[in-house]
Structure 1
């Protein structure tokens, strides 16, 4: 009978892929870099395939390494679920989570899925509202955890992700040069709307707000239909959208940060568990991939997850 794969080696293998280097992976798995390298040599010997090849100063997965990665993630998830199922001290209760509509669309499916599998006895109560309203709910004690746009001038939160904020339009509907910029944005208290309007005002660009909604679905629909321009974080870009840059006459925007608000008095075990899942899921989201058209003047975007082969474009989400 063939010897089973080693769980510890698979965890290290995944850490290398997710962190991007053997050195960073060593910190994540609390091992020396030489121990990490030894584990990978043994894993390669076990499967009989080369998993990494040199790429400049770094390493990248081989085709066989990409194949193993999918299995490794599934094995580790199943292992964690099995351990949780027999844990007499497993978490129980209700966890009330708040998130804006656009964050729920991009991040919550994986967060909820992972947490529910490892903590099946915890009921999740999800509220979708703008960050401003979620902060008020947190102050009233109506939520335990809130995923919000970090804005230290208005609310305190622990930053868990930073990414570019982009101007976006339709790749299939060019803007008129002789008309004010039509905008689809959030409500007046939306931080991204304020950043967009301030940048246009500073640049002397004429604009007109045509659509106002806190729903990311409504805003994205207006952009894809060619009816308006909007601002979105890089991970939210969708197939059919074009990023508008200074070459198109749009001023640069500051990056956005995602933060976590936590209710004082929340069970430390519950808080640590959900925070760990949120951080892990956000870390697993890579920057949007670019697919240039034949003319080279339109770039469309789709999100890529770590389990996807580098450069492979997904049809959307």
Structure 2
């Protein structure tokens, strides 16, 4: 009889693939680094194929590892869904989730629908604020969970659950992207995407000016769709009527956008654990095609 794959080993495997590090993955799955290494050794023995190869100090997936990753994600997701459907079904109370408004429209419908079906007696409170504010709310214990843009600073305690392309966008019906200097619609001065956009344009020697500033994604999107400005948005924030800009239009490449889950570590309630599972499942189920629609 063919040996079965261990879901716990697969969960660790997925964490390594998503964080890019055995050390970071150990923090995510709450195991020691030696335990993580042992799990991966046993997983390689189980599939009888090498799934990692050394790349300097880092480890990357082999071709077989990439193939296994697709199965691992599906198995882990299905396992979590099965557990969620039976466990904690009678939980009640209140749980508070923070999310930037640019993620709320795309991610929340599926997350809220799943969570409501499995925990109908729970009151879910949602706060929409920029990442910087949400990090402070988590630190003070004001909210239980936060979906954030993960950076070197904010992701220290965050679990990166999705990576998307960060894109230059303009209106498909207008030519703001051809103007000199380039008119920009961006977030407030502390916004990471704003800093990246300005830095990359400056590095490319392309003149620009900040025409619109708003912490609200809807306002930035309105400026873009009306043909008044160019902006940068993650792939999941694309809207019908937008044009994606690249090197052919003279716009420099942008780094990827990491989306993380940040948790209140003071006293994590069972409700937060349940909601966290639904968030991970919801973002994992969002395909690249869905995100671009």
Establish whether TM, by shorter chain, passes 0.5: yes
Structure 1 CA distance for aligned equivalents of residues 70 and 90 of structure 2: 30
Higher RCO structure (Cα 8 Å, ≥6 apart) = 2
Gaps of 5+ in 1: 1-19, 31-72, 290-300, 304-317
Structure 1 CA distance for aligned equivalents of residues 253 and 71 of structure 2: 34
SS at match of 2:288: coil
Gaps of 5+ in 2: 1-65
Structure 2 CA distance for aligned equivalents of residues 145 and 239 of structure 1: 30
Of 201-210 and 146-155, deviating more is 146-155
Map 1:218-257; keep pairs closer than 5 Å.
Answer: 218-257=219-258
Q: Which runs of 4+ in 1 moved over 6 A?
A: 20-23
Q: Give the CA deviation at 1:225.
A: 0.7
Is residue 141 from structure 1 mapped to residue 141 from structure 2 by the alignment?
yes
Q: Give the CA deviation at 1:117.
A: 1.0
Q: Give the CA deviation at 1:286.
A: 1.7
Deviation by residue 1:78-124 (Cα, 9 ceiling, x = unmatched)? x999x66xx78622221111010111111111111110110112111
The residue that corresponds to 2:183 in the other structure is 182
- The aligned length equals 224
Is residue 284 from structure 1 mapped to residue 285 from structure 2 by the alignment?
yes
Which structure has more helix as a fraction of its residues?
A: 2
The residue that corresponds to 2:75 in the other structure is 29
RMSD: 2.7
Q: Taking structure 2 as the reference length, what is the TM-score of the superposition? A: 0.69
Map 1:55-204; keep pairs closer than 5 Å.
Answer: 90-154=90-154, 156=156, 157-175=158-176, 177=178, 179-204=180-205
Change (3 A) 1:143 1:26: closer
SS at match of 1:134: helix
The structure having more radius of gyration, on CA atoms, is: 1
Change (3 A) 1:93 1:168: same
Q: Taking structure 1 as the reference length, what is the TM-score of the superposition? A: 0.64
Change (3 A) 1:176 1:126: closer
Q: Give the CA deviation at 1:153.
A: 2.3
